[in-house]
A and B are shown apart, each in its own frame.
Chain A
């Protein structure tokens, strides 16, 4: 190097960067595109990376082929649903990992400040980094696509339904990428920002369920009911025998009401108004994804050309149960009175076996109708998607604010550059 002759370059290209005024921060299409391409080039994997990705992809395809050979031809949506949850899970793991070192890492390496000096605005840098990290996550998720395609062919889902659910998943991955970026703009050190990003993801995936359980105790009405039972102790041996016989035969007419006195017993029972806290469940990303899935009717799925209700359908029913809250028969629960049972209704009319049968059938029908109502309750992904949208917008606001120069305050314990 040192023996390079000292020669002045013959001429210089004159460049005319546009003049600037004020201190703009908004993202511009050109700036975001340039920043995205810079970030993508920086994250371009090495040859080793490509080989690894290739091996992973081949393994996934091999597993799919194996599954195709071994599997029966029955429709089953559960496989697809598990793959979708896996895609969401992997996305929620890698997206924040990629973005959570993006800003404090760059600043530590000294490559952030030169960009901030350039005509790129804070918005350009923020959104360029967001899109680049997100694209990398999406490309990584593509490795799972053979699973998805294979499971889809046997799921009874329609293509447009899959597209909607996938779009929702990718949107969530975008939101959690933004969350990672925000942490990397706030925390000085990479360890801190990465763990905070994963904690945030964990809070939404698991914390909402825990909160739901805890909040359940707050919306539980306890009420004291008084029930009446025969007091066995006060009966004479004959009376006890007569009662046993009557229970065995179902014929209580021989008993004399005057001999049998019922004594009150108090119980406290709880009634949890889950309808008031079901939104906690709906804010859970996995529930949200489940809520974007098609509705499967437990009665008519065969005629509808669908697979039997799978994981998402079950989750939808559980969540629907929570959304509807306690049913009328639970609320208007009639306290039990053994004496009324023996000497009142039961004595008056006795159910024949046919009537008994009819009664059971009616109960069953009522239960089925309730199950069907749950399964067909309109899907409710909106709350979850709204939460994600708020996370996305809020995070990006933080990131843009933190990237604006001149800095008023620096991240604690860091230097500029």
Chain B
């Protein structure tokens, strides 16, 4: 099994998991998880509380041994090369933990040295990472004084000290203020742009929408494969049109035989590309419809999530 995965991986597929399972006693936390994250892309891991996201990430990171299935991280198998897997991964845990009486810079420097980075380089990199997550003014303050969001950012910086090729971010946006969320989004895109593979879990779907290339839905320990992907793809094609004169809009659409769901303030159209969307808007305006709002219907991920209609655990 191992060899087949590694052979098919190549360099592109940074994270590959097939049929991964793990239970804790009688609790089957993850039953069957399959996902692939190519290098240079961001994949969201979405699912209700207790569906096994954190457990799956722990197995991917080489901290927890799966009871079944195969994993390859940057071409390494955690069964045989767990150290190589861990070295390739930057892991941001969902639990915030920091060394209370050490400063932020000390924390990052020591963490860097734990990765066998020479002291000076580790220090320099620590300072840079603090700047990258906008904590430079806290460099010399003990980490115990940091607020929740600041701790979260320190934790993100800590995941980056060794310049990992694969990032596993477990609810990184938790507790961040709106601006920091936007910055996190940009940072994640930037990290993917540098060729890293990012797997990110979050419950704030609206903001994932703008940063991820792909999404994996999980429910009760199982990843939902193609049907969820189709639903997301479909949700992405839905556009909302709001017009001052709703009736006129509906009348124009009906006249030209365009399928549309009427809504309270306008209509929802299915448009399969951005080019077509631009054309449709111009056309409607030409038809004398006074469009005051035009855009994708909310978050595609959120729509899919709601449509999945799965229970929480």
Which residues in A have some Cβ–Cβ distance to B below 8 Å? 1-2, 4, 6, 8-9, 12-24, 30, 34, 37-38, 41-42, 44, 46, 109-111, 113-120, 405-408, 410, 415-417
Contacts and interface: CB of A to CB of B under 8 A. Distances in A.
Contacts of A21: 81, 83-84
Contacts of A415: 95
A42 B177 contact: no
Contact of B97 (A41, A408, A417): A417
B231 interface: no
B102 interface: yes
Instruction: Categorize the interface residue count of chain B.
Output: 35 or more
B84 A19 contact: yes
Nearest to B91: A117
Contact of B91 (A4, A18, A114): A114
Contact of A13 (B61, B87, B113, B125): B125
A110 B93 contact: yes
A406 B64 contact: yes
Contacts, number: 140
Given A44-B101, A117-B86, A13 B124 contact: yes
Contact of B87 (A19, A30, A38): A19
B234 interface: no
A21 B87 CA distance: 10
Contact of A15 (B24, B122, B137, B180): B122
Interface string B187-219: 000100000000000000000000000000000
A340 to B, nearest CB: 78
B121 interface: yes
A127 B246 CA distance: 73
What are the nearest 3 A-B pairs in CB distance? Answer: A110-B97, A118-B114, A110-B95
Contacts of B97: 109-111, 113-114, 417
Contacts of B99: 38, 41-42, 111
Contacts of B84: 19-22
Interface of B: 24, 58-59, 61-65, 78, 80-84, 86-87, 89, 91, 93-102, 106, 110-117, 121-122, 124-125, 128, 131-132, 134, 137, 150, 158, 161-163, 177, 179-180, 183, 186, 190
A117 B89 contact: yes
Contact of A18 (B61, B112, B116, B190): B116
Given A12-B125, A17-B87, A23-B82, A405 B111 contact: no
A13 to B, nearest CB: 5
Given A109-B97, A110-B97, A118 B83 contact: no
Given A4-B134, A14-B163, A15-B125, A38 B110 contact: yes
30 contacts: A2-B177, A2-B180, A9-B128, A12-B128, A13-B128, A14-B163, A15-B117, A15-B162, A17-B162, A23-B81, A23-B83, A24-B83, A38-B110, A41-B99, A41-B101, A41-B110, A42-B99, A42-B101, A110-B97, A114-B97, A114-B111, A116-B86, A117-B63, A117-B91, A118-B114, A405-B63, A406-B62, A406-B78, A407-B63, A416-B64
